[in-house]
């Protein structure tokens, strides 16, 4: 199975290539001040070496959700500049291993050079698509992801790939944007709103349905609430190309969620 880039992949790739070049963040209506990330607990942020900034384009904290253990193999879907991989690398320790996959070469370059500078040796970054993961079947204990699956034009393929690479009994721990109720049509049609993690988001029940359809069990989706100011600044940051879009409708429909699911033990 190979994935050819669709127009959505291209727009999203260009968007994030540009953002990492300018080192700007963020993603989604929950992102807040991503470059000094308020998404994570202070003790987790403190595990970064001194002088390293937390460059995040995420919308939550999949690390705390994942409850990582020493020795585990972890895969980060859409690893961006590598922040969650660096946190995960600390948690799994020298006997564990972390793989970050991202389709944007500029992100892979940034994450790889940061790993080298920080001397993190149990992490590697692979360029590839979530819809066609460059990862062996049944090889990963935990999959994490932060504000990425909503960006895929083929989410069921992403979930099928995640299921394929997880070991039996493996866990998926994801922060992502989902919706409840309709988004304005103008927003749905906006490619910049797609790249900003709004237009590609689907209803929580559809998200759960796709995960269950590929075999995941014990799927849980719990909303994370952010204040209006945080949502406003994230939407401003996205510079939606819709002139008069009804922002209130976006507040109501889109939210960040903590999502967990498992691959059954016996297959
Ligand atoms: C919103 S950023 C999040 C990055 C990172 N998870 C974080 O929290 O900072 C989305 C990332 O996912 C990558 N991405 C989006 N769609 C992808 C796909 N279909 N396959 C691989 N990478 C993808 C982008 O290149 C970008 O680096």
Q: pLDDT digits over 160-176, tens only? A: 999 999 999 999 999 99
> What is the CA(212)–ligand 1 centre distance, in A?
23
Q: What angle do CA 216, 28, 81 make, to 5 degrees?
A: 80
Contact between 255 and 162 under an 8 Å Cβ cutoff? The reply is no
- Can you tell me which atom of ligand 1 is nearest the CA of 59? 8
Task: Give the pLDDT score at 190.
Answer: 86
pLDDT in tens, 5-29: 999 999 999 999 999 998 744 444 4
Task: Give the pLDDT score at 198.
Answer: 87
- Can you tell me which atom of ligand 1 is nearest the CA of 76? 6
> What is the CA(266)–ligand 1 centre distance, in A?
31
Contact between 81 and 20 under an 8 Å Cβ cutoff? The reply is yes
Facing residues of 256 across strands?
177, 224
> What is the CA(15)–ligand 1 centre distance, in A?
10
**Which residue's CA is minimally distant from atom 12 of ligand 1?**
78
pLDDT in tens, 208-217: 999 999 999 9
- Can you tell me which atom of ligand 1 is nearest the CA of 83? 9
Is the pLDDT assigned to residue 35 strictly greater than 70? no
22-47 core/surface letters (b: 16 or more CB in 10 A; e: else): eeebbbbbbbbebeebebbeeebbee
- Least confident stretch, 52-56, 188-192, 201-205, 232-236: 232-236
**Residue with the larger pLDDT of the pair 100 and 195:** 100
**Residue with the larger pLDDT of the pair 147 and 224:** 147
**Which residue's CA is minimally distant from atom 27 of ligand 1?**
80
| Separation of alpha carbons 215 and 130, rounded Å | 17
Choose one of 85, 102, 123 to mutate for the ligand 1 pocket test, by most ligand atoms within 8 angstroms of C-beta: 102
pLDDT in tens, 211-262: 999 999 999 999 887 666 766 676 676 665 544 455 666 666 888 899 999 9
Is the pLDDT assigned to residue 37 strictly greater than 70? no
Q: What is the mean pLDDT of the chain?
A: 88
Pocket lined around ligand 1, Cβ cut-off 6 Å: 9, 12-13, 16, 27, 56-58, 78-81, 83-84, 102-104, 107, 129-131, 146-148, 151-152, 197
> What is the CA(215)–ligand 1 centre distance, in A?
24
- Can you tell me which atom of ligand 1 is nearest the CA of 158? 19
Six-digit token pair at 156?
């069921």
| Separation of alpha carbons 209 and 206, rounded Å | 5
């Amino acid at each position: 199975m190979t994935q050819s880039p669709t127009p959505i992949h291209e727009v999203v790739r260009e968007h994030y290539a540009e953002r990492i070049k300018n080192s700007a963040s963020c993603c989604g209506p929950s992102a807040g001040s991503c470059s000094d990330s308020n998404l994570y607990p202070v003790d987790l942020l403190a595990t970064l070496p001194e002088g390293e900034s937390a460059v995040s384009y995420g919308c939550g904290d999949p690390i705390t959700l994942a409850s990582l253990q020493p020795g585990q193999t972890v895969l980060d879907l859409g690893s961006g500049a590598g922040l969650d991989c660096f946190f995960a690398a600390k948690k799994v320790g020298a006997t564990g291993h972390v793989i970050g996959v991202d389709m944007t070469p500029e992100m892979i370059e940034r994450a790889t050079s940061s790993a080298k500078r920080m001397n993190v040796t149990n992490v590697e970054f692979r360029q590839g698509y979530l819809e066609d993961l460059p990862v062996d079947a049944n090889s990963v204990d935990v999959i994490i992801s932060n504000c990425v699956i909503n960006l895929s034009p083929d989410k069921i393929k992403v979930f099928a790939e995640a299921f394929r690479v997880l070991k039996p009994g493996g866990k998926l721990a994801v922060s992502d944007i989902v919706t409840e109720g309709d988004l304005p049509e103008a927003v749905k049609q906006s490619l910049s709103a797609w790249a900003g993690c709004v237009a590609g988001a689907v209803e929580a029940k559809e998200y759960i349905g796709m995960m269950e359809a590929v075999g995941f069990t014990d799927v849980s989706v719990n909303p994370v609430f952010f204040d209006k100011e945080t949502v406003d600044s994230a939407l401003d940051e996205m510079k939606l190309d819709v002139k008069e879009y009804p922002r209130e409708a976006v507040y109501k429909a889109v939210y960040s969620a903590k999502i967990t699911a498992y691959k059954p033990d016996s297959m």
